[in-house]
Amino acid sequence: MHERAPAFGGVDGRAYSVGTFVDEMPDAQGRYGAALLFVRWSDAGDRPVGHLETEYLASGATPAEALAPLLALTVHELKQHLDRCIERERRA
């Protein structure tokens, strides 16, 4: 029905979709890190034009354990993380 990926607006007025990222290999302590990846969409919504990433937000002994807290985030919490990433990019 729509011509772009499902998205929500950031404080910069741009459309973003969100995904998760989990390390492929554990760190020196045997922990996997997990973070959020926000894809920024073109004004037309037809293609990605950039991305933002959070720092690691969770870790676990397995990728699934690290990912679980991120999958439990509410849309409101995801939006807060996105807006912090946008503000961090603006300051850089």
Provide CB contacts within 8 A for 87, sequence distance 6+: 11
Share of the chain above pLDDT 90, in %: 83
Closest CA to 61 of 31, 34, 23, 33: 31
| pLDDT mean over 83-88 | 96
Among 5-9, 42-46, 68-72, 73-77, which is the least confidently predicted range?
5-9
Provide CB contacts within 8 A for 59, sequence distance 6+: 31, 32, 33, 34, 66
Q: How far apart are CA 34 and CA 11, in angstroms?
A: 24
